[in-house]
Amino acid sequence: MNTTIRRFVLVSFDGLRPDLISADLTPNLCRLQALGVTLANHRTVYPSETRSAFPSLVTGATTNRHGMVGNKYVDRSVDPQRYIDTADAVLLRRLDLESGGRLMSAPTLGEILAASGKTLAVLATNTPGTTRFFHHKAEDFGHVRLSGHFREACTPDEVLAEAELRIGSLTPEQPKIEPDRAGQDWITSAFLDVVWPKYRPDVTILSYGEPDVTSHFHGTGAEATRSIIAHCDRQFGHVLDWWEAEGRAEGVQIIAISDHGHITGHTRVSVADRLRNAGFRPGTVPGPEVDVVVVPGQVGALYFTNPTDEQVARLVGAITSEPWCGPVFTRAKNATEGIAPGSLGNHLVFADHARAPDVSFCFRADDRIDPFGLIGGTFYDNDRRTGLGVHGGLHPKELAAVGIVAGSAFPAAGASSSVPSGICDFAPTILRLLGIEQPESMTGRVLTEVLDSAQQAGPAIRSEAFEAALGGFRQVLRRVQVGTTTYLESGRAEG
């Protein structure tokens, strides 16, 4: 192993589809590909939502291990039950303190590094909650966590003050319909001008919150979205210039990722209306007049106030008769099936945590070509117009994520690896290269096939499929195993 490996810079582009990387649109990401190795068969977790995926990044574990089962969930560990929106950084801190530090059910990269006397710095323009998730205990260790917009997500105060003095005040949060350029510029400058020169973190996460937001409000291939992708790539170009001029010689390894892809919503539906017609009393938050909570979001999460197997089966029977219903998961009945006829066990998609909903489902997706020439369309349930980007489910383009690694640990410059990999694999790989033991909670693997210590023989790869049916409804879940690590390939429904 190269003894000069000392530090890592991990740059994230929220919601960037790998097939949008091109010489014209993202010349700097292409430059990184020429300098390193592209993980060409790289995926995220289920649900393919930001605040499930980034916890998987920093824990090296699937959602059933770390417990962030969705962007939003119902907390049934308290009475009365409560609806949790993890976009709220202040709420997340309170929940962590109330639980004795157990907001996350698995140790995170920041905690593991701190235990070895090393540091993790975070600079992000995502929501306040997402920014906190990258290192939710940063203030406990004196580590740096800076948001480009939200003071409540920043720590320590003196580092924020230093950054604002040097590069200007935090930028106001942009209206959702406006691409966020100023925030990306601020965090890039904060890293290059303040955090790296003065603090030299062992690991840095630099997270651009775009193109995700713009895709949601303009469309995944829209001109506004392509423009913000190009802008983020230009900011990344400044980081790459620094790396080539200085960072690489100091043993910095650079990694570029995204947390999920997007597909296009083509038909709007109402899950609550269907459940109401089936005799349920749906609501978006727990309450005395609600027997099932429909958590807002592109991936279906349904929580009963007082669940019974019979209720779960009746609900699954109702939604699987709808043309918008895709793969459905409930608590496991056996090694494959869920407790409701027609459903698969939620353990197959690693969603079997105590916080998991009683019924998880994806909206039915297909491979139609959207107005921008991109593959992937779906039903959806929100108040926006058709033609916009959505994610959360199991379509291959939602699961597909960017993964590029470069540096002295990854010597095959310009190479591409077709071995399946995933967002859970970066933390174990970083720990291996730092000589830190990987905790048992991690489900990801070390990316040995792209390291200089790799053996000639590649890992064993095996595909598998699981099916369930009810009446005319049929679903198929496809996974692939690399050694003992399992990745989700796709989930489809028909009928």
pTM of the model as a whole: 0.97
Q: What is the mean pLDDT of residues 399-423?
A: 96
Percent of the chain with pLDDT over 90: 94
Q: What is the pLDDT of residue 277?
A: 97
Peptide bond into 47 cis (omega under 30): yes
How would you label 147-165 residue by residue, b for 16+ Cβ within 10 Å and e otherwise?
bbbbeebbbeeebbebbbe
Q: 39-88: per-residue pLDDT in tens?
A: 999 999 999 999 999 999 999 999 999 999 999 999 999 999 999 999 99
Digit-coded pLDDT (tens) for 169-202: 999 998 889 999 999 999 999 999 999 999 999 9
Distance CA 174, CA 401 (A): 25
Instruction: Write the pLDDT tens digit of every residue in 114-147.
Output: 999 999 999 999 999 999 999 999 999 999 999 9
Q: What is the pLDDT of residues 439-466, one digit of tens each?
A: 999 999 999 999 965 555 678 999 999 9
**pLDDT band, very low/low/confident/very high, at 331 (cuts 50, 70, 90):** very high
- Separation CA 301–CA 311 (nearest Å): 15
Nearest to 114, CA basis, from 90, 89, 138: 138
pLDDT at residue 1 in the model: 39
pLDDT tens per residue, range 248-300:
999 999 999 999 999 999 999 999 999 999 999 999 999 999 999 999 888 88
pLDDT class of 164 with cuts at 50, 70, 90: very high
Structure confidence at residue 457 (pLDDT): 66
Given a cut of 70, is residue 112 above it in pLDDT? yes
Mean pLDDT of 332-359: 98
Lowest-pLDDT range, 7-11, 299-303, 438-442, 475-479?
299-303
Give tens-digit pLDDT for 219-244.
Answer: 999 999 999 999 999 999 999 999 99
DSSP string, 464-476: EEEEEEETTEEEE
pLDDT of amino acid 455: 57
All structural domains of the chain: 7-264+396-450 (3.40.720.10), 267-381 (3.30.1360)
- For the chain, what percent of residues have pLDDT higher than 70? 98
- Asked if residue 2 has pLDDT above 60, the reply is no
26 contacts 104 by C-beta, under 8 angstroms: no
